[in-house]
Amino acid sequence: MNKYKAIGIVGVAFLTVVLVFSAFYYYGGYNTPSSSQHLTQSQLEGLNVTEPGVYASQTNSTIYINSSSSLLVMTGPMNGPSMYSFEILGMYNPTIVIKEGVTVHFTVVNIDTDSEHNFVLSNQGPPYPYMSGMGSMGSGGYSSMTSMSFLPPTNSGYFYYYNMSYSFSQSGTYWYLCTYPGHAENGMYGRIVVEQ
């Protein structure tokens, strides 16, 4: 095999590898939102349950969490009183009373068909300015305890979600809010009370 033939074979092999990787990248990167986690309708319904350590009081729109538990938070319900709502165990923007020392595992799912949302914990209460979060990470302008990128609207039966856990180790009053511009300003928030 002469030198030029060898170079030719290496060149063809290299181009083949580039083409194969490009094809993988194209289908992985553009045709499926593979980097975002999503749930189907039945998976979402499976998560919408009340755990043993949780008591939901519809009469005073309060959720009591007495031991470490999971909680499903749905953002932007289309059947809610306002698009600026969090729906938790059938209530809209409920007060959440948590026993000090309890860890809550939040699964935040966007069920809105036309807007992005997130769910951020803060020790700053309302009123909130238009730009509550200064961008997608919910930090800046006020003190946030957590951050979350915006979840895309629901699409083709898929619901985008985000998992986070928070240990409420200090008693006091906290807030959960959506930091998408204008959302917390228009009422997309609720109160968290951590009790001893």
Nearest residue (CB) to Cu ion, 38 versus 183: 183
When asked if residue 178 is in the footprint of Cu ion (CB under 5 A), the reply is yes
Nearest residue (CB) to Cu ion, 88 versus 178: 178
- Give Cα separations from 93 to 60, 116, 140 (angstroms): 12, 17, 23
Which one among 142, 174, 180, 189 touches Cu ion, defined by CB under 5 A? 180
In the structure encoding, which two tokens stand for residue 10, read together?
A: 């290496």
In the structure encoding, which two tokens stand for residue 107, read together?
A: 């699964």
Nearest residue (CB) to Cu ion, 39 versus 111: 111
Angle at CA of residue 62, ends 111 and 113, nearest 5°? 10
Using CB under 5 A, which of the segments 42-50, 58-66, 91-99, 186-194 binds Cu ion? 186-194
d(Cα 191, Cα 58) in Å, to the nearest integer?
A: 16
Q: Quick one: which of 70, 26, 56 has its CA closest to 161?
A: 70
Q: Quick one: which of 92, 83, 189, 56 has its CA closest to 133?
A: 189
How many residues bind Cu ion, per CB under 5 A? 5
- What's the min distance (Å) between Cβ of 61 and Cu ion? 19
When asked if residue 160 is in the footprint of Cu ion (CB under 5 A), the reply is no
In the structure encoding, which two tokens stand for residue 154, read together?
A: 């629901």
When asked if residue 148 is in the footprint of Cu ion (CB under 5 A), the reply is no
Please report, as residue ranges, which positions from 88 to 147 form the binding site for Cu ion (by CB under 5 A): 117
Summarize as ranges the residues that interact with Cu ion (CB under 5 A). Answer: 117, 178, 180, 183, 188
